[in-house]
């Protein structure tokens, strides 16, 4: 008998783009929430138009985007045209029998659709509405549009990331979206508990920029307490040395390590075969090591460059020195630690996508009694139109057929514009990828699909 998941019976209506809300709601869907994702055939979700499996842009390419599949597993897709009255009416009827409405558009867009919190309370008095925007619903920036690249700057994070003497560097990934998503997951869960106790819904105003500002309290408190503005220091520390990311043997192989105490410093010297460093006056105290950190970094690289990163990781960890090999995408996917913890789960895809079963990263937590799971892969565009309207809302088949004929619902984009990926050879020449492996499909099949229990 399958274990009942903690959020079974909770219905979430999601109207969103890209990552911040899709990621948050995906985690809740893993824990049993039923998610109705509102999509549009006219204004296609951005992730449906890029990064296709096997770089194929033929056939139903909009159902083959791997980024979309990553963020939208377990969900149902209802493709409504909200510019049509019947589309708006269907959405409000769905919200009226749901628990949560989650969106990440600007306040202006949501108000124009008549989906602001006060309007929704008229159809569902105890609704929980969560709105994840770049800068929140109040303040002079409340109607600014936002992407991760911009909010990483305004949050203060970008000022802290970068190399000494260089400009700010924003992360390669949209870091704000994932931070905001994790905060939002907690906020929705807390609001559901509050409603269970009081019967009251509420409005959750998530500022994506603020979720990231809350992760850098050291910079804020350093000015608050000491009046100091921090400078960028790359991978180093303001308090001790050595600390950094050091080159190891092979192409693009690195290890991150940190020696914070005298014992760790002595052990590091022993592992690297340089015990004489402990007697060098440039490095024989915490203060001198910090003052001469650049010289020390160069000496360490001369030693680490001869090591395999995994061998060095084990040698340092055995001496109680914090260290970790820098893992790329393939190394993460095949990492024995992550796989022993069952971090990846295989999802089957709809046959029309022509995608094989694939492993997906799951949750950063493990519940002993009610573990979550991937129930299904991401939905096809409008895959659940008829189910949502007939089985959930109780409409007749004739009413749904009329909506199909009027274009109020659909299953294909009205203006298909796939964005083809450059060829692997082109990406190599541009320096956007390190390598490309022709047999990746067979490797994934053998590791994750053939050995499924």
Tens digit of pLDDT for each residue in 154-168?
A: 999 999 899 999 999
Cβ proximity of 28 and 12 under 8 Å: yes
Mean pLDDT, rounded, for 305-323: 97
Return mean pLDDT, the chain.
Answer: 94
> Does 1 have pLDDT greater than 70?
no
Taking residues 197-224, report their average pLDDT: 94
Strands (E), 134-192: none
Q: What is the mean pLDDT of residues 277-303?
A: 96
pLDDT at position 443 is 95
Q: Which two tokens stand for residue 425?
A: 């050879």
Please tell me the predicted confidence (pLDDT) of residue 67. 95
CATH 3.40.50.10540 in the chain, residue ranges: 11-214+337-421
Q: Residue 10 pLDDT more than 60? A: yes
Q: Residue 186 and residue 166: Cα distance in Å, rounded?
A: 36
pLDDT tier, 359 (very low <50, low <70, confident <90, very high otherwise) = very high
In degrees, to the nearest 5, what angle opens at C-alpha 442 toward C-alphas 436 and 444? 85
Asked whether residue 79 carries a pLDDT value surpassing 80, the answer given is yes
Positions of CATH 3.30.1540.10 in the chain: 243-247+254-325
Q: Look at the pTM and tell me if it is higher than 0.85.
A: yes
pLDDT attached to residue 106: 86
Confidence band, pLDDT 50/70/90 cuts, at residue 269? very high
Mean pLDDT along residues 404-425: 90
- pLDDT value at residue 451: 79
Strands (E), 326-390: 344-347, 358-361
Contact 151, 208 (CB under 8 A): yes
Mean pLDDT within 227-234 = 91
Contact 106, 116 (CB under 8 A): no
436 neighbors 424 (Cβ within 8 angstroms): yes
Q: Give the architecture-level CATH label for domain 243-247+254-325.
A: 2-Layer Sandwich (3.30)
Task: Tokens for 245, please give them.
Answer: 């990311």
Backbone angles phi, psi at 132, to 5 degrees: -105, 110
Write the CATH number of the domain with boundaries 11-214+337-421: 3.40.50.10540
pLDDT at 2 over 80: no
Reply yes or no on whether the pLDDT at 120 is more than 90: yes
Least trusted range by pLDDT, from 12-16, 317-321, 354-358, 424-428: 424-428
**CA atoms within a 13 Å half-sphere pointing along the CA-CB vector of 331:** 10
- Kindly tell me if the per-residue pLDDT of 453 is higher than 80: no
Give pLDDT, residue 421: 82
pLDDT over 90 at 9, yes or no: yes
Interhelix angle 397-406/85-96, rounded to 10 degrees, is: 130
The confidence score (pLDDT) of residue 246 equals 98
Between the CA of residue 237 and those of 19, 161, 193, 289, what are the distances in Å? 32, 12, 41, 11
Q: Is the pLDDT of residue 425 over 60?
A: yes
Between 169 and 14, the more confident residue is 14
Q: Where are the alpha helices (DSSP H) in 199-308?
A: 208-213, 217-226, 262-271, 286-291, 293-304
State mean pLDDT over 47-69. Answer: 93
At residue 322, does pLDDT exceed 90? yes
pLDDT of residue 230: 86
């Amino acid at each position: 008998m399958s274990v009942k998941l903690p959020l079974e019976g909770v219905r979430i209506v999601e109207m969103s783009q890209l990552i911040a809300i899709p990621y948050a709601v995906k985690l809740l869907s893993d824990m049993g929430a039923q998610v109705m994702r509102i999509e549009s055939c006219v204004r296609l979700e951005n992730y449906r138009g890029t990064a296709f499996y096997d770089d194929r842009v033929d056939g139903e390419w909009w159902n083959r985007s791997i980024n979309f599949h990553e963020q939208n597993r377990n969900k149902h897709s209802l493709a409504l045209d909200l510019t049509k009255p019947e589309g708006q009416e269907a959405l409000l009827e769905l919200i009226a029998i749901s628990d949560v409405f989650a969106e990440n558009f600007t306040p202006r867009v949501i108000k124009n659709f008549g989906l602001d919190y006060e309007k929704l309370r008229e159809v569902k008095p105890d609704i929980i509405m969560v709105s994840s925007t770049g800068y929140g619903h109040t303040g002079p920036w409340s109607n600014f549009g936002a992407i991760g690249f911009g909010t990483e700057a305004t949050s203060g994070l970008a000022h802290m990331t970068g190399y000494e003497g260089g400009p700010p560097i924003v992360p390669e990934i949209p870091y704000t979206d994932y931070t905001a998503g994790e905060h939002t997951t907690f906020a929705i869960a807390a609001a559901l508990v509050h409603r269970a106790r009081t019967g009251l819904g509420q409005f959750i105003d998530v500022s994506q920029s603020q979720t990231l500002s809350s992760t850098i309290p050291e910079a804020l408190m350093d000015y608050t307490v000491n009046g100091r503005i921090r400078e960028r220091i790359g991978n180093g520390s303001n308090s001790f040395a050595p600390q950094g990311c050091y080159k190891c043997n092979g192409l693009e192989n690195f290890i991150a390590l940190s020696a914070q105490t005298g014992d760790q410093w002595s052990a590091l010297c022993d592992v690297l075969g340089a015990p004489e460093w402990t007697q060098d006056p440039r490095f024989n105290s915490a203060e001198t090591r910090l003052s001469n950190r650049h010289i020390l970094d160069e000496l360490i690289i001369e030693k680490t460059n001869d090591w395999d990163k995994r061998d060095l990781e084990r040698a340092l960890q055995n001496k109680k020195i914090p260290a970790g090999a820098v893992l790329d995408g393939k190394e993460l996917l095949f990492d024995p630690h992550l796989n022993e913890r069952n971090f990846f789960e295989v999802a089957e895809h709809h046959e029309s996508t022509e995608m094989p079963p694939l492993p997906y990263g799951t949750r950063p937590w493990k519940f002993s009694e009610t573990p979550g799971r991937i129930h299904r892969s991401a939905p096809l565009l409008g895959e659940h139109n008829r189910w949502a309207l007939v089985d959930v809302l109780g409409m007749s088949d004739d009413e749904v057929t009329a909506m199909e004929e009027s274009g109020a619902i659909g299953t294909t984009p009205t203006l298909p514009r796939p964005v083809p990926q450059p060829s692997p050879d082109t990406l190599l020449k541009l320096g956007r990828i390190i390598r490309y492996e022709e047999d990746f499909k067979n490797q994934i099949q053998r590791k994750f699909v053939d050995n499924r229990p």
